[in-house]
Amino acid sequence: MEKVVLKATRRSVVGKQVKALRRAGELPAVLYGYKLEPLAISLNSHDTEMALRYTTASSLVTVEVDGTEYPTLIRERQRDAIKGIMIHLDFQAVSMTEKIRTNVGVQLHGTAPAVKELNAVLVTGLTELEVESFPQDLPERFTVDISSLANIGDGIYVRDLVLPDRVEMISSADEMLVLATLAKEEAVEEEVEKVAEELVEEGAEPDVIEKGKKEDEAGEGDG
């Protein structure tokens, strides 16, 4: 992805007064982090929305304030619940020469043969993974190809991922990302059949519940 640069200005407007700022087309934000005291800033709302359309939580974003550029990660995006537009941003300034730990999102890609041919259901596990690297080496996302899920029980785990150079995985290698399993009803039926087969093998008689009258009840009616 091309370098994303956002031009910002310092702001003195805080609290409830930021509503007027938003009406004027400005987006309030906070910049904090590496060797930096928290700084209240504002950006152009439209330009910021457009620039951040394809960025993720692990995308490096440069914020320019008073001619100084700060490499940052977006730590929080607040949106209007009704309009869906951004109403506030939190930027964390980072050092390009120090490693950081952060989360990278997981995105499933492709079609699983087990779903198409065996009516399987995909159960997802972790949706983001913790990694450690220099900010400039962070992947924007982990794209997981699910076309290898051909059978019921097939799964993809953290250990199956191929990591980019200079990126270390912190999340456990045994954590599941996605698993192909039976639909709920089929799983229940399969479990019932399995239990019944085990009972037959052990020589046990399956219980019959309320099938006709009991022998003693039938006898009471005689005579």
In tens, the pLDDT along 95-133 reads 999 999 999 999 999 999 999 999 999 999 999 999 999
Q: Return the closest-CA partner of residue 45 out of 95, 7, 92, 100.
A: 7
Give residue-wise pLDDT tens across range 39-84. Answer: 999 999 999 999 999 999 999 999 999 999 999 999 999 999 999 9
Beta-carbon contacts of residue 69 (< 8 Å; ≥ 6 apart) = 5, 62, 63
Q: Report residue 211's pLDDT band, with 50, 70 and 90 as the boundaries.
A: very low
One DSSP character per residue, 147-214 reads GG--STT-EEEGGG--PPTT-EE-S-TT-EEEEEE--HHHHHHHHHHHHHHHHHHTTPPPP--S-S--
Q: Return the closest-CA partner of residue 120 out of 39, 187, 25.
A: 187
Please report the pLDDT score of residue 16 as a whole number. Answer: 80
Domains recognised in the chain with CATH numbers: 4-94 (2.40.240.10), 101-185 (2.170.120.20)
Q: What is the mean pLDDT of residues 18-30?
A: 94
Please report the pLDDT score of residue 183 as a whole number. Answer: 77
Residue 204 has pLDDT above 60, yes or no: no
Beta strand ranges found along 35-141 (DSSP E): 36-44, 61-65, 68-79, 86-93, 100-109, 121-124, 128-133
Q: What is the mean pLDDT of residues 179-197?
A: 66
| pLDDT, greater one: 205 or 77 | 77
Please report the pLDDT score of residue 146 as a whole number. Answer: 98
Residue 86 has pLDDT above 70, yes or no: yes
d(CA 182, CA 159): 23
Residue 197 has pLDDT above 70, yes or no: no
Tokens found for residue 113: 């043969």
Give residue-wise pLDDT tens across range 139-169. Answer: 999 999 999 999 999 999 999 999 999 999 9
d(CA 25, CA 162): 43
Helix (H/G/I), strand (E/B), else coil: 140: coil
d(CA 167, CA 219): 79
